[in-house]
Each structure stands twice: as C-alpha cells, then as structure tokens.
Copies of this chain bind each other. A is one copy, B any other.
C-alpha cells in the first residue's frame, strides 16, 4: 500500500479547466482495480493549489495507473495549465493497513 501526494499549482485562468479534467481523471482512476483512493482537493488558502491523494494497493498498481489512457490523456491536457511542474511525494501507509478500510 502506498500513497502519492501530488501537489499541483495551476495558472489562475485555468483553474476551472483543471478541475473539469481532473474530476474526469478521478472517476476513471478510482475504477482501476488496484486503486484505493484518488481524492481531488483544492487549497482553502490558495484556490490555484491542488492536492491529488492517490492511494494504491501496490507499486504495480501505481505503475499501471501511469500507463492508462485516462492518465496519459489528463497529463497531456493539463500540461500547459501548470504554473510550476507538479510534484509527487511518496508515502508508506501506517494506518489503516486493512484493505477493507480504504
């Protein structure tokens, strides 16, 4: 089990586009068999900053995500909307370890 927190800083005039594209990616990603969560969050302090909380049951499942059509399509679509390159921070899961609680 692992979680990647992807921090995204979006150009102000692309926030609505980014949300629409990312909600679409969320829907397809949560349907992947090894996905546990794919939460899309917007900073309260700065609405141009987003956090994607991507939880997968294995390294393989996380890698498989990066080969999906929906991920590649999202990646291409949002590329020009970033204010700075997005940054992924990897974490191990301490709790909960029970798959049923994800």
A residues apposed to B, CB below 8 Å = 2-3, 5, 19, 22-23, 26-27, 30, 38-45, 50-51, 53, 55, 89-96, 101
Contacts and interface: CB of A to CB of B under 8 A. Distances in A.
Contact of A41 (B41, B50, B92): B92
Given A43-B89, A53-B53, A89-B43, A94 B22 contact: yes
A90 B44 contact: yes
Given A42-B91, A43-B89, A89-B43, A51 B5 contact: yes
A16 to B, nearest CB: 11
B96 A30 contact: yes
Contacts of A44: 2, 90-92
